Amino acid sequence: MRILPWEFLIAGATRALRAGKALTVMRHLRLDAKLPSRPPFPKEPRVLFVASEPPPLRGIFKFETEDELVREGLRVAEPNWHRLDSPTAQQLGAKVKEVRPDVIHLSGFDTHFARTTLLSRNEVEAVAQLDNVLGEGQRLPGELSDGYVLAGSLHPVRPHELGAILATGGHRPHLVALNIGNSAARIAPLMSRTAPMRRPAFKTISMTILPSCSLLFSIRD
C-alpha cells in the first residue's frame, strides 16, 4: 500500500471540494527499528542539488530556474550550496560523504521518462543501452522498473540502490526532494529502506506535491 500514489488519488478526489486551494498529503512510515535521534534541522542547511542529464539526454532541460528556486526557497548561504551535474553513482555517493548535506534535491529523469524521451528523439542505440542495463527490453515504458538515471552509460539506479547512495557513510539527510518524473511517488517510500543497512536509514517520511518538485519528503525523528 505504501507505493500506491495516494497524493494523486486524494488530490483528484477532493479537487471539487478544495476550490483551487493547494493540498498537502503527509505520509508517516511506521518502522519497528528505533533509530538514534538526530540534531534539529539547522538554520543554515547544507544543500546538494543534483542535475542528472547524461548524454544523450543532455540539453533537453534547463536546470537554472529549478536551481534558483531551491536555493532561494531554502535561503541557502553560498558556502552551503553544492551542485553536482550528471554524476555517476560513485560520484554521487562520494559527494554525499564529503558534503553530508542536510537537504538533497534530485532532478533529471526516471527510467520511464528517459526511455520515452529517447524514443521520441529516435535515439535507438541509447534506448537499447538503457534496456540492457535494466534487463527489461521486452517491457513497455510504463512496465519498466522505477529508477533514477545517472551518468556512466545511462546508468539507472533502482530505489533501494539510490537510498543506499544517499546514505553513504551512514549519512541521514533531513530532507530529500525528487523532481525526476511520475515514478517519484513510488521511489520515495522504497528509498526509505536501504539494502546495505540492517535498519532503515530514514525514520519518518512526509510528502507533498509542490510546483517545483514532483515529490517532496522529509526525514524527521
Q: Which tens digits make up the pLDDT trace of 167-181? A: 899 888 888 888 888
pLDDT classification of 220: cutoffs 50, 70, 90: very low
Amino acid at 166: L
Strands (E), 71-167: 81-85, 103-107, 148-150, 155-157
Residues 117, 49: contact at Cβ < 8 Å? no
> What are the grid coordinates assigned to 188, written together?
520515495
Q: Which CATH number does 44-108+150-219 carry?
A: 3.40.50
Task: Tell me the range of 84-98, 174-188, 198-212 where mean pLDDT is highest.
Answer: 84-98
Rounded to an integer, what distance in angstroms lies between the CA atom of residue 109 and that of residue 125?
Answer: 18
Residues 113, 130: contact at Cβ < 8 Å? no
Query: Taking the domains of the chain in order of start, what are their residue ranges?
Result: 44-108+150-219
- This prediction has a pTM of 0.75
Rounded to an integer, what distance in angstroms lies between the CA atom of residue 51 and that of residue 91?
Answer: 13
